[in-house]
Amino acid sequence: MPVLSTAPALADRLLGERIVLLARELDDDVAAETCARLLLLAAEDPHRDVTLQVLSPGGSPVAAMAVHDTMRALGVDVVTVAAGSLAGPVPFLVASGTSGKRFALPHAALLPSTDGQVRGSHPGDVRVRADHLSSRRDEIDTLMGRYCGAPLPDEARHRWLSAGDAVRLGVVDHVRGVDS
């Protein structure tokens, strides 16, 4: 399989697998591109599912409605997959997928507000964002301890680790390219 060096090459390869990746803030241009890709895949094969992989921080409710209406009018099942942190109207798109074919990856987080992404302009927004980031850090620390075989010492979490330190702490298994 060839190495994919550009975003368009990656998008084309994903389209070949019937996957549309929504990985930017949802505005009118992103919605138009997403709708076009969904329409193209439905027209190519009206009997096979299309997957919408969603990794977007939020965006315009108007743009979200355009994607929603397109999804619902396709005539094919739309599998939706939430990845990362989704806010604003973007979780609505995941919920708009075909019933029974809506998924969230294990560490996805959804904040289904209707006013766009959490921007932090309102004190309540700042608190919600800070709480979310804090819980993500805790979750990452817990998983890091699981993957490394033990929690990292506090001193290791507050400095840059050398490759050798990373091996010693179980973050990586080997340093590649080192003659033994």
* Rounded Cα distance, 36 and 177, in Å: 45
Q: Which of 12-21, 59-68, 86-95, 116-125 has the lowest mean pLDDT?
A: 116-125
Are 143 and 113 in the same domain? no
Give the tens place of pLDDT for each residue, 2-24. 555 677 788 889 988 999 999 99
Distance CA 40, CA 59 (A): 23
Domain end call among 119, 147, 166: 119
Q: What is the rounded CA–CA span in Å between residue 151 and residue 145?
A: 4
For residue 26, the cross-strand partners are 59
Residue 144 covered by a domain? yes
| CB distance 30 to 24 below 8 Å | yes
Query: In the structure, what pLDDT confidence band is assigned to residue 152 with cuts at 50, 70 and 90?
Result: confident
**Three-state secondary structure call for residue 168:** helix
**76 with 49: CB under 8 angstroms?**
yes
- Domain containing 109 — which CATH number? 3.90.226.10
For residue 116, what pLDDT is reported? 44
pTM of the entire structure? 0.74
In b/e form, how buried is each residue of 73-107, taking b as 16+ CB within 10 angstroms? Answer: ebebbbbbbbbbbbbbbbbbbbebbbeeebebeee
Going by C-alpha positions, the residue among 63, 71, 56 that lies closest to residue 28 is 63
Helix, strand and coil in the chain, % to nearest 5: 45, 15, 40
Residues 95 and 81 in one domain: yes
- Is 19 a member of any domain? yes
Could you count the other beta carbons within 10 Å of the beta carbon of residue 62? 12
Distance CA 172, CA 162 (A): 11
Rounded to the nearest integer, the mean pLDDT of the chain is: 84
72 belongs to a structural domain? yes
> 17 and 59: one domain?
yes
What average pLDDT does range 110-116 have in this prediction?
Answer: 64
Q: What is the pLDDT of residues 27-45, one digit of tens each?
A: 999 999 999 999 999 999 9
Instruction: Please tell me whether residues 51 and 79 are part of one structural domain.
Output: yes
Q: Where are the alpha helices (DSSP H) in the chain?
A: 7-16, 28-44, 61-73, 90-95, 123-148, 163-168
For the chain, the domain total comes to 2
Q: How far apart are the first and last CA of the chain?
A: 32
